[in-house]
Structure 1
Amino acid sequence: MKWSHAIKDYEHYLRIERGLSDNSIINYSLDIQRLIKYLESQDIKTGPLSIEKEILQQFIYETAKLVNARSQARLISGLKSFFNYLLFEDYRETNPMDLIEAPKIGRKLPDTLSLEEIDLIISKVDLSKAEGERNKAIIETLYGCGLRVSELINLKLSDLFFEEGFINVTGKGDKQRFVPIGDVTQKYINIYKDQIRNHLNIQSGHEDTLFLNRRGRQLTRAMIFTIVKRLVEKAGIQKNISPHTFRHSFATHLLENGADLRAIQLMLGHESITTTEIYMHVDRSHLSEVMNTYHPRR
């Protein structure tokens, strides 16, 4: 079996069997491509079914000189997944990555924004420009519904169920979930939709897409990052802020105000509650409050 065939079969497996998103599949494939480039640079002639542990160990060792521990751990995890697939399909009898351990890394707690900082960022939106109302609605939706960037740009008019107080969100692996949407977020989406969007020359195929660029097409992920970056710079906030930060803040603020972790998990669309816990910045005062409120011997 050639590497190209193995990668193609693996991508098909990730898409059909595991239901992963295109972005996740690309990242898994890049791990294997990185290994292939290393083999070519070292003039090592071996395929996915015959490659041995020693070669992989040397590859990981060389890679460790170039990337941080977190990237190294992700690479090892990706390669283990690939060889587990070959094992699962009976292409191999063993996984050569089994005895290769990833470096120990602590959980990276994401930056969050306070409500005051979010209001400050939104106040920096230039409403004198045509895209101002759109950008304001985008930030309100990222924070108000805790969406991923991919979920935001793929949001459609037909996904809005404002009378019921929900939006239909298509998450990773095309899995859909209903997320509550508050009156404030609804208000700014309606302003954009009714006063700005309906005046655009909407291109064919984008008639149902909610957030559009000036040419009437779907916004890109990069454009959302640019919008957030510029607003944060204007606000003078010295934190590592990305569109995902609003999702972190959404979850954290809900928890701090007494929301149930399981409910937050469902709104974020996490399969495992362990993933949800990573988003939580729970300070000691909040834990003490929970103890004093709910424990029978408080």
Structure 2
Amino acid sequence: MPRLDHRAFINTCRDERGVGHHTLRAYTQDLRTFARFTAAHRLSDPLSKDDILAYHRHLRDALGAKPATIERRLVTLKSYFAWREDRNSALPSPFADVRISVRIPRRLPRPIDRDTLRAVLQAGDGPIAPRSTPGEHGATPASEIAVTLLIIKLLIVTGLRISELTNVKVRDVALDGSQILVRGKGNKERIVFVPNHELQEEVRRHSEVRRREGSVAAPLFLNTEGRRLRSATFRKRLRALSRRLGIEPHLTPHRFRHSAATLLIEEGIDIRMVQALLGHASLRTTEIYVRVSNHALRRALERADVLDVLRN
């Protein structure tokens, strides 16, 4: 059986390539799945093209994996064997002559409609109201609904991934609340702007409270116990809010990201600017939002009323 050096590969991806935590976890899962396959079929080095094709059939037919999962597992494996060959040329990659085409159906994103967004924003209002019980390190957590709504507003305006926002530190926020430094996939940094003056003031007040409470290296958003708010906790809050407001399907952070992109394109923002805001490596990823938005097309056609132009 071939020896798959999982740990060394994962360490290289983390330390040298800056790969994020969630991606590293997926890589580990993908490599373990392949290791089980090689053990069950008693495969040994050097692996061949036929072994990879057999693994593809195993994923598709025996495991019934979805096309996107199959593609990810093969891409992970291909990266692993390229890394292994680079370290030891005596172990060539079995992917050298492999040509596998995995058809992945393009699913349209599901943004939240405007009426639902308005209902969510009206679910609770008012300034950040600190609780009286100090949390970890003496920090006083703000009220749960205030923090939840502040994050929702930021998701709508910035299109951030929830993991990017929950990892923001106090020092990453401009003193006037107008911009935030975030770290995206691959630990790439980018700046997102908060154009709404009312929201800027909310962000400024919240970060000012957090600065007074302690280190600028501390998380910007805390849970009710005074610890860093985690993505999973925020998702639970959204599910509870969805039940309260009768929203189906329930709200998710990524649906707010879809909404941010769709709203910006509907308002005429150039697609390349939306790409930069969302942190997409490829414009192709952003282009899907153009297909989603019929509202923008209708407004553009109304502005360019060709019959009206011909009459005048």
TM-score (normalizing by structure 2)? 0.79
Alignment of 1:6-17 (within 5 A): 7-17=6-16
Partner of 2:222: 212
Partner of 1:273: 283
Alignment of 1:99-248 (within 5 A): 99-125=98-124, 130-163=143-176, 165-181=178-194, 182-190=196-204, 192=206, 208-239=218-249, 241-248=251-258
Q: Which string of whole-angstrom CA distances, capped at 9 and with x for unpartnered residues, describes residues 235-288 of structure 1?
A: 222236421111111111001100011111111112221222234444356346
* Counterpart code for 2:202: Y
Distance in structure 1 (CA, Å) of the matches to 2:164 and 2:20: 11
Question: How high is the sequence identity, in percent, across the aligned residues?
Answer: 27
CA drift at 1:213: 1.2
Native 8 Å contact 1:169 1:177 kept in 2? yes
* Counterpart code for 1:103: V
Distance 1:2 1:229, change over 3 A: same
Native 8 Å contact 1:84 1:95 kept in 2? no
Native 8 Å contact 2:121 2:149 kept in 1? yes
Distance in structure 2 (CA, Å) of the matches to 1:39 and 1:2: 7
Distance 1:214 1:283, change over 3 A: closer
CA drift at 1:165: 2.0
Name whichever of 119-128 and 271-280 sits farther off: 119-128
Alignment of 1:84-103 (within 5 A): 84-89=82-87, 90=89, 92-96=91-95, 98-103=97-102
Distance in structure 2 (CA, Å) of the matches to 1:280 and 1:34: 37
Partner of 1:52: 48
Partner of 1:262: 272
Distance in structure 2 (CA, Å) of the matches to 1:279 and 1:97: 36
* Counterpart code for 2:161: R
Distance in structure 1 (CA, Å) of the matches to 2:300 and 2:97: 42
CA drift at 1:173: 1.9
Distance in structure 2 (CA, Å) of the matches to 1:273 and 1:25: 24
CA drift at 1:136: 1.1
Distance 1:209 1:164, change over 3 A: closer
CA drift at 1:33: 0.9
Unmatched 5+ residue regions in structure 2? 132-142
Native 8 Å contact 1:156 1:210 kept in 2? yes
Distance in structure 2 (CA, Å) of the matches to 1:179 and 1:213: 23
The structure whose Rg is larger is 2
Q: Which string of whole-angstrom CA distances, capped at 9 and with x for unpartnered residues, describes residues 49-88 of structure 1?
A: x222333333322222432222222222222222233344
Name whichever of 29-38 and 69-78 sits farther off: 69-78
* Counterpart code for 1:277: E
User: When the two structures are aligned, how many residues end up with a matched partner?
Assistant: 289
Name whichever of 100-109 and 172-181 sits farther off: 100-109
Partner of 2:293: 283
Partner of 2:57: 61
Secondary structure at the counterpart of residue 107 of structure 1: coil
1:252 maps to which of 248, 251, 262: 262
Distance 1:167 1:285, change over 3 A: closer
CA drift at 1:4: 4.6
Partner of 2:134: none
CA drift at 1:115: 2.8
Native 8 Å contact 2:182 2:191 kept in 1? yes
Unmatched 5+ residue regions in structure 1? none
Distance 1:112 1:98, change over 3 A: farther
Native 8 Å contact 1:135 1:227 kept in 2? yes
TM-score (normalizing by structure 1)? 0.82
